[in-house]
Chain A
Amino acid sequence: GNSVTQMEGPVTLSEEAFLTINCTYTATGYPSLFWYVQYPGEGLQLLLKATKADDKGSNKGFEATYRKETTSFHLEKGSVQVSDSAVYFCALILTGGGNKLTFGTGTQLKVEL
């Protein structure tokens, strides 16, 4: 079946540090990949997406590149802020088949001053 594996959290960083949150996937077909973010007390929000190999999704300073050869979609940001503290979810959906968006377990990010 399809699955998403994320690095365990919490990840604690100082403000302006570099962020990487690892995400790898297993899929029976050709997936589209997503990062969602959940701020405290809120629902999930789509952060960025990539629909084919070597695509780079980006938004709000965050980036992730779809790497088919390593089945990965790692989330990066060059300089995190306290306001980036949230839970980040990697997710996939198969292109053209099925309606199930499969999420990873989420990685909590804490950014301190």
Chain B
Amino acid sequence: DSGVTQTPKHLITATGQRVTLRCSPRSGDLSVYWYQQSLDQGLQFLIQYYNGEERAKGNILERFSAQQFPDLHSELNLSSLELGDSALYFCASSLRADNTGELFFGEGSRLTVL
């Protein structure tokens, strides 16, 4: 158990809809990272937050947004969903702002867009 909690574990929705994925980081960790894992793109870094502020941005679409709240949990919002957004979305956490490469991953939220 990594200590990172993600909800929901599974989500099925329709094209055009909006969903919110939630992540609680490991106790004491201040950074939260979001990754998308799909069969064709592999594991893609989306965005990082550190202590409530956006720290680094990766291949995140404009239809996607994220935030980190004062209690350090984070939410990833996906809107105007398309079939290609079907993927496993991972949250990871670490203590520091600078990514040392040592991240603790949650079990992921599997999104299916029909």
Mark A residues whose CB is within 8 Å of B: 32, 34, 41-46, 49, 89, 91-93, 98-106
Mark B residues whose CB is within 8 Å of A: 2, 4, 33, 42-43, 45, 48, 55-56, 58, 90, 92, 98-103, 105-108
> Main SS of the interface on chain B?
loop
The docked-state distance in angstroms from the alpha carbon of A44 to that of B4 is 11
* B4 to chain A: closest residue by CB: A43
Q: List 30 A-B contacts (CB under 8 A).
A: A32-B100, A32-B101, A34-B101, A42-B107, A43-B2, A43-B92, A43-B107, A44-B92, A44-B103, A45-B2, A45-B105, A46-B102, A46-B103, A49-B101, A91-B101, A93-B100, A93-B101, A98-B99, A99-B48, A99-B56, A99-B99, A100-B45, A100-B99, A101-B33, A101-B45, A101-B99, A102-B45, A103-B42, A106-B42, A106-B43
